[in-house]
Amino acid sequence: MTETFLKNAWYCAGWDSDIGIGAKDLVVRKIAGRPILLYRKLDGGIVAMEDRCPHRSAPLSLGRKEQDSIRCMYHGMLFGPDGKCSHVPGMATVPDDARVPSLPVVERDNWVWVWMGDPAKADADLICEAIGPGNPDWILKTNKIQIKTNYRQEIQNLADLSHVSWVHEMTFGGTEDWGYIKPKHNVTPRGIETRYCVRQVPAPAFAKHLFPEDARFDIQVHVRMSVPCNFILSFAVHEAGDATSGPTNGRLLLDTFSSQAVTPRDDDSIDYYFSWGTSKATYIPGIVDLMHTANMEAFLEDKRMLEGQRERMLEFPNAPLVDIVHDAGPGRMLFVLDKLLQEENEAAAAREAAQ
Amino acid sequence: MTETFLKNAWYCAGWDSDIGIGAKDLVVRKIAGRPILLYRKLDGGIVAMEDRCPHRSAPLSLGRKEQDSIRCMYHGMLFGPDGKCSHVPGMATVPDDARVPSLPVVERDNWVWVWMGDPAKADADLICEAIGPGNPDWILKTNKIQIKTNYRQEIQNLADLSHVSWVHEMTFGGTEDWGYIKPKHNVTPRGIETRYCVRQVPAPAFAKHLFPEDARFDIQVHVRMSVPCNFILSFAVHEAGDATSGPTNGRLLLDTFSSQAVTPRDDDSIDYYFSWGTSKATYIPGIVDLMHTANMEAFLEDKRMLEGQRERMLEFPNAPLVDIVHDAGPGRMLFVLDKLLQEENEAAAAREAAQ
Amino acid sequence: MTETFLKNAWYCAGWDSDIGIGAKDLVVRKIAGRPILLYRKLDGGIVAMEDRCPHRSAPLSLGRKEQDSIRCMYHGMLFGPDGKCSHVPGMATVPDDARVPSLPVVERDNWVWVWMGDPAKADADLICEAIGPGNPDWILKTNKIQIKTNYRQEIQNLADLSHVSWVHEMTFGGTEDWGYIKPKHNVTPRGIETRYCVRQVPAPAFAKHLFPEDARFDIQVHVRMSVPCNFILSFAVHEAGDATSGPTNGRLLLDTFSSQAVTPRDDDSIDYYFSWGTSKATYIPGIVDLMHTANMEAFLEDKRMLEGQRERMLEFPNAPLVDIVHDAGPGRMLFVLDKLLQEENEAAAAREAAQ
């Protein structure tokens, strides 16, 4: 069977604060189609394993933490943090195959990342560079939403910001300029990178009330997207300059940064984790709260559009699609994803044929 | 694939008042499996088109009316009332295939009718003759309900009024006479037509309190059904006469008329639009309110029966069915529908074979 | 098609008090995939038949009791308690195939049992021996719950009480001893039978407050399970004795008895009917209420675990399972069920081949 999720990739499993260290703190996340149990050991390290007892498929998340181990509370089997069963009540010997797949896990930038593929290939350097709310140089707020969409549609949404003018007319938008920008997207080994400047635009709708009506700004944008669907955005607001190409030469007013990690739960829904805020150097009292509220509203605008799109895609599964100029970014990002997926599917087919 | 819905037919999309002329008035109806967007132009004329942007399947109903056009609010593509894209932000030329199927639409008798098939074949003379609440000679009230049933079961329900005695015991019924009537149903090009008189019956249950217990009436019934599932009923209450065949010769007491249009949303549900009322000439104060309340209650009785039937049909998909005498009307009506469906399916297969 | 439910078996359709004798008392139960209508005749005897009119599949449970018959309230067809149609309004002759399958039904121990297979094979001696709340020697309370699980998982749950230590830690458990017991399960023609003594255990969690902390008991257990999934439990609490094998020799304190009948509704859910209580001879005021509350709480613990297990089984339909020592009882019970199922499936295939 062809897999639709990349295995050898880091998937965000949430914010570090989602996973407590209490005796009762067991967290389940559906990631790329698999239910994953997460909990902290006594030393604070995070354990990630499949949330399924190999005996009769009971969820381990209905179990009991015992030191660093987890006991299945259906028949009492005890599993270590490596997923290996250490004890079956009533049996002197533990069956060899009594083992739960455990997963490499890394905490970075206040995010928890889980590697869904071959543990030997788990390379923490593949985790996207982000800025977390714990970073001392930034003031950031976080949130999360769930959207009923396939993650490919979320990729298409994020890899083309022309939709800001339309979907986000009432929040991030407020000018049609975004809808006409056709930036160059550079392909990277695991995604795309995009830099451009939006020039001479009014303040976004959510902040218009802070400025005179004729105030104009240059916005310097730097996007790095990576598989499965992570979106790292530097969004720097400058006074409008007079450069007409290349970076703005206007004075920096507000340096903002948004880290967004999208994790497919299954083929039909995603978990969306995000932060946004400003550097301490450019911070203005109240601005991060304003940005954060606008961000949540904007992502609900996306959710409404994506869930509407999903309904129509289910109704018209084979309808031809018309391509437009703004599909360049989405196309490049999906090209990278599909290339990696194809490599994994071919390797899996080869392994199967060799058996 | 064999289609289960007739394409070359007028489907009711609701009451004219459902579709406002305001800037925000965008209405979506699921008709015969397709989501249809409806809105009014500045001149009041109605536009009907598929509710799906050809770019990436976003619903146009999440878009923005601009004069007589509709802008998709995902990436800003603008579509005229004919469904043709007139502008893509950032592109000098519009792709040839950037076009939404638009549908012929007619307003008549306060109903909005949409033609789902070949626009060249749309013939307004095929719209069933009805009487709408706007008619100056009638006093009518309207309502609508949704029922989880395939429209073929609704056809069976409407084409045989013997069920009035049983399903509507507490509303339209109140006598078993209806259950024994076996009228002759004449086949018409797009349906059936039925005329008969129910003689010497007590008042229907909902109106029994208005008459002495021994009051008896003749009810002259004239039904015209047409595809897909429209039901036009003249129901005239007379003093009981002494004619034993043919039309009643009793004095006319109350001339009532009900126009009912049933639109399949999909294979599993229908929208049911209906009106009922009396001629001004025979109007009695309060009577239309009483009739209307009874009508809504009666249709909820149908809904309960039809949705129960649907559950059993899903549980017993291949169970043999026993035919009885009252299946004559439903059989004739389904015969007409199936003949037209077969013609369309054969024509579609021929077109496909010719390609 | 291979059937997953045994046909030639008695299925519990509820408590006798569930089925009233009033004119409106029509009860529907989904049993082994089929909707079954139950009602009482004037003499109090229960009628069971398929809840589907053979005309157009309307539910007879939306019908009207007329003496011992049931009238379908869609088109007025009348069916006797044997399921045979006795009258079709408007027809002089009743079509031969106008007949609803009727089912053998027995009331015993306050339970109503329905035979889903060949009526000629219905043998009331195959009904499991239980004790109902009407029994003059016992004080019992009853209840029921619904669980989203396949009945095979419920069989696995009941045929192995080692789960009491874990799932029921807060109710029936309170000691890990249950988790280590490996009783011998004897195969019977329609199930399994198991006897053992749990020795020197503290009171169960729900009753711990009634005894000194160091009080220890012997619990004599006798389980009889039978197809499809009936569970008859004698659970007798004794003072801890000094026998180390065979029955306890401690003094009997509390003789309790639980009758549990589990009826699969469909492949995905069950109805669970149960009673629990004590003999009058050993009754202690208040004890049956305490037991009954604990019982309901415990079955909700099972429900949570079984529904979690179901989710994982749907997510991992082909995952290999690891067997442990406690699977002996479930394995024997499923062996009996599968043998009977195979016999029925083979007989059905032979009948089909002979046609």
Please list every residue in chain C whose beta carbon sits closer than 8 Å to the beta carbon of residue B180: 89-90
For A320, the domain range is: 128-338
pLDDT exceeds cutoff 90 at B137: yes
Same domain, B114 and B135: no
Residue C236 lies in a domain: yes
- Of the candidates A33, A35, A90, the beta carbon closest to that of C312 is on A35
What is the model's pLDDT at position A3?
86
- Name, in order, each residue with C-beta under 8 angstroms of C2's C-beta and a sequence gap of 6 or more: C345
- By C-alpha distance, the chain A residue nearest C330 is A56
CATH number at B116 reads 2.102.10.10
Residue B76 lies in a domain: yes
CA distance C213 to C202: 8
Q: Which two tokens stand for residue B28?
A: 């979506």
Same domain, C23 and C39: yes
Same domain, A117 and A266: no
CA distance B310 to B318: 13
Q: Model pTM?
A: 0.95
CA distance C29 to C15: 12
**Residue labelled with tokens 């016992």:** C138
Q: Per-residue pLDDT tens for C236-262?
A: 999 999 999 999 999 999 999 999 999
Same domain, A303 and A195: yes
CA distance B286 to A179: 58
CB neighbourhood size of C16 (10 A): 18
Q: Per-residue pLDDT tens for C279-305?
A: 999 999 999 999 999 999 999 999 999
Q: How many domains does chain C fold into?
A: 2
Contact C305 A90 (CB under 8 A): no
Q: Which two tokens stand for residue A132?
A: 């977390």
Please list every residue in chain A whose beta carbon sits closer than 8 Å to the beta carbon of residue B28: none
Nearest to B181 by CA among B219, B130, B152: B219
What is the model's pLDDT at position C1?
59
Chosen for mutation from C34, C52, C56, C78 (greatest number of chain B CBs closer than 10 Å) is C56
pLDDT exceeds cutoff 90 at C355: no
Mean pLDDT of the B343-351 span: 95
- Of the candidates B181, B309, B315, the beta carbon closest to that of C56 is on B309
Same domain, C210 and C322: yes
Q: Per-residue pLDDT tens for B88-100?
A: 999 999 999 999 9
Contact B58 A305 (CB under 8 A): yes
Q: Are B229 and B274 in contact (CB under 8 A)?
A: no
Q: Are B171 and C85 in contact (CB under 8 A)?
A: no
Domain end marker among C62, C96, C125: C125
CA distance C55 to C71: 12
Same domain, A313 and A172: yes
Q: Are C130 and C260 in contact (CB under 8 A)?
A: no
Residue C349 lies in a domain: no
pLDDT exceeds cutoff 80 at C2: no
How, if at all, do strands A34-40 and A27-31 pair? antiparallel
Residue A355 lies in a domain: no
Q: Per-residue pLDDT tens for C23-81?
A: 999 999 999 999 999 999 999 999 999 999 999 999 999 999 999 999 999 999 999 99
What is the model's pLDDT at position C305?
98
CB of C59 less than 8 A from some CB of B: yes
Same domain, B145 and B237: yes
CA distance C110 to A290: 66
C127 beta partners = none
CA–chain centroid gap for C332, Å, is: 18
CA distance B224 to A176: 54
Please list every residue in chain B whose beta carbon sits closer than 8 Å to the beta carbon of residue A167: 73-74
Residue B4 lies in a domain: no
What is the model's pLDDT at position A2?
74
Element (H, E) at B32: none
Nearest to B169 by CA among B259, B294, B276: B294
Mean pLDDT of the B321-350 span: 97
Please list every residue in chain C whose beta carbon sits closer than 8 Å to the beta carbon of residue A56: 153, 156, 309, 321
Q: Are C74 and C55 in contact (CB under 8 A)?
A: yes
Same domain, B181 and B225: yes
Residue C346 lies in a domain: no
CA distance C270 to C32: 9
In this prediction, residue B355 has a pLDDT band, given cuts at 50, 70 and 90, of: confident
- Of the candidates A33, A59, A89, the beta carbon closest to that of C308 is on A59
What is the model's pLDDT at position A186?
97
Please list every residue in chain B whose beta carbon sits closer than 8 Å to the beta carbon of residue A160: 75
Same domain, C63 and C198: no
CB of C292 less than 8 A from some CB of B: no
What is the model's pLDDT at position A41?
98
Q: Per-residue pLDDT tens for B261-318?
A: 999 999 999 999 999 999 999 999 999 999 999 999 999 999 999 999 999 999 999 9
CA distance C233 to C224: 7
Four-point Cα dihedral C68, C73, C76, C79, nearest 10: -30
Same domain, B25 and B138: no
List chain A residues with pLDDT less than 70: 1
CATH number at C178 reads 3.90.380.10
Neighbors of chain C with 3 or more C-beta pairs under 8 Å: A, B
**In chain B, what's the furthest Cα-to-Cα distance?**
80
Same domain, B141 and B162: yes
Q: Where are the beta strands (DSSP E) in chain C?
A: 10-15, 27-31, 34-40, 46-50, 64-66, 69-71, 78-79, 85-87, 102-103, 105-108, 111-115, 138-147, 185-188, 191-201, 217-226, 230-239, 252-266, 269-279
- The minimum CA-CA distance between B37 and chain A, rounded to whole Å, is 12
Same domain, A20 and A63: yes
Residue B133 lies in a domain: yes
CB of C311 less than 8 A from some CB of A: yes
Q: How far is CA C42 from CA A46, B22, B176, C84, C110, in A?
A: 68, 63, 24, 18, 19
CB neighbourhood size of C152 (10 A): 18
CB contact burial A116-128 (16+ within 10 A = b; e otherwise): bbeeeebeeebbb
Domain end marker among A70, A97, A125: A125
CA distance C326 to C185: 11
Residue C327 lies in a domain: yes
Nearest to C32 by CA among C48, C21, C19: C48
Neighbors of chain B with 3 or more C-beta pairs under 8 Å: A, C
Q: Is the dihedral of CA C132, C135, C137, C142 positive or negative?
A: positive
